[in-house]
Amino acid sequence: MLRGLSLDSLMPYFGVVLLIIGGSFFFPQVLSADYLTQQLQIAAFLGFLATGATVVILLGHIDLSVPWILTGAAILSTALVGTGNPFLSAIAVPAALVFGALIGIVNGIGVAILRIPSMVWTLAVNSMLLGLAVLNTGGFNPKGEASALMKTMASGDILGLPVSFLIWIALCIVLAWFLTRTPFGRYLRSIGFNEKATFLSGVSTPSVVFAAFAIAGMCSALGGVMLAGYANQAYQSMGDPFLLPTIAAVVIGGTSILGGRGGLFGTIGGALFITLLTSILSVMQIEDAWRNIIFGTIILVMLLFQTLRKGDTA
């Protein structure tokens, strides 16, 4: 766990504090409890995706199928609830999670067995899912609604803290335990460092890859279920705007895109930072163009800070 607390992973938390202080000069309401808890709630949506992405990135791979796993899970769960059948409504969330895990395994097959670079294979899986969704819904917004459970997961609160945030943190704690305390976690990182050496040490590397992608798929699916609960519907390409912020959240949190190095603690900070940055930029009513420029610049500056601090050894 200590390894997770490197300076890199603390960076986004400093960023969050700076953003809150800076934002409060322009808008005092940034400091209100209402605003901050709302940010925690929204950060959780990005957070689920980033948590799953962290697992895959630690492995040294990348999952570009996040957007349509998310959308597919949202469509599936709302459609099941929309049937009105109590049994089907009850299994909406588990079904979405199984869907995410299955797609994750499809990703794993391409990456581990066919040895296709994850970047293109998950991209292809993404476009197949898109095709399935279009075929299934006829290109219109899918019918259906969110169940009470999904709404509570997305918008409820316990003792003033959003349920979505609590679930996210609980998930992170469980996963962090898996990543640091079990053989699976160690294999995951060692594959990220050197897959060949890990294989030669007798580890069944494909099964680790399968598990990692399945976890990531379930996280994306959970994000989709939450978003569907939040919006009370699923809609086409609801996941597309999340892909790049997800990757950005993971790297800002100090996880190396090359794999092996990093952890979930930083990712939590990264997701909080990006959500807050997006929110403050939109509260300030900055036009879209400048929002893009500022967003890109800040991410670049944070990354430069990470690498240049290390001097020539990086």
Partner 1 sequence: MLDYLKSNRREMIAALVLIVLLAVYLGTHPRGASTYVMTIWANQCLILGLAACAQFFAVVVRGIDLSVGAVMALSNCVASYLLDGSAFGIAIGMVAVVVVGALCGLINGLVVVYGRIQPIVATLATASIFVGIALLLRPTPGGAVNYDLADAMTLDVLGIPTAMVIAGVAVIGFWLPFRRTGLGLGLYALGSSEQAAFQSGINTKFIRLAAFTLAGLFGGLAGLFYSFVTTTGDAGIAASFTLNSIAAVVLGGVLLRGGVGSLIGALAGAFILKTIAALMFFSGIPSLAQPLFEGLILAAAIAIGGADVLRARNKLEAFS
Tokens (6 digits) for 32: 């209100």
Position 226 contacts partner 1 (CB under 8 A): no
The residue from 11, 49, 62, 96 that contacts partner 1 (CB under 8 A) is 62
Position 22 contacts partner 1 (CB under 8 A): no
Alpha-carbon 275 to chain mean position:
12
Of 244, 249, 280, which Cα lies nearest the Cα of 262? 249
Which segment (10-18, 82-90, 157-165, 294-302) binds partner 1 by CB under 8 A? 294-302
Position 64 contacts partner 1 (CB under 8 A): yes
Position 308 contacts partner 1 (CB under 8 A): yes
Cβ 192 vs Cβ 60: under 8 Å: yes
Q: Determine what percent of the chain falls in helix, strand and coil, rounding each to the nearest 5.
A: 80, 0, 20
Q: How far apart are CA 270 and CA 259, in angstroms?
A: 17
The residue from 56, 97, 129, 188 that contacts partner 1 (CB under 8 A) is 129
Position 183 contacts partner 1 (CB under 8 A): no
Position 291 contacts partner 1 (CB under 8 A): yes
Annotate 143-178 with three-state secondary structure: CCCCCHHHHHHHHCEECCEEHHHHHHHHHHHHHHHH
Position 161 contacts partner 1 (CB under 8 A): no
The number of CA neighbours under 13 Å toward the Cβ of 75 is 25
- Taking the least distance from each CB to partner 1, the nearer of 2 and 114 is 114
Cβ 65 vs Cβ 122: under 8 Å: yes
The residue from 13, 193, 199, 235 that contacts partner 1 (CB under 8 A) is 199
Cβ 73 vs Cβ 93: under 8 Å: no
Distance spanning both ends of the chain, measured CA to CA: 22
Which segment (13-21, 127-135, 178-186, 208-216) binds partner 1 by CB under 8 A? 127-135
Q: How far is the CB of 135 from partner 1 (least distance, A)?
A: 5
Q: How far is the CB of 247 from partner 1 (least distance, A)?
A: 6
Q: Of all helices (H) and strands (E), which one includes residue 157?
A: strand 157-158
Q: How far apart are CA 160 and CA 46, in angstroms?
A: 20
Position 257 contacts partner 1 (CB under 8 A): yes
Q: How far is the CB of 31 from partner 1 (least distance, A)?
A: 28
The residue from 20, 167, 240, 283 that contacts partner 1 (CB under 8 A) is 240
Residues of this chain that bind partner 1 (CB under 8 A): 62, 64, 110, 114-117, 119-121, 123-125, 127-132, 134-135, 138-139, 195-196, 199-200, 240, 244, 247-248, 251, 256-258, 287-297, 299-300, 303-304, 307-308, 314
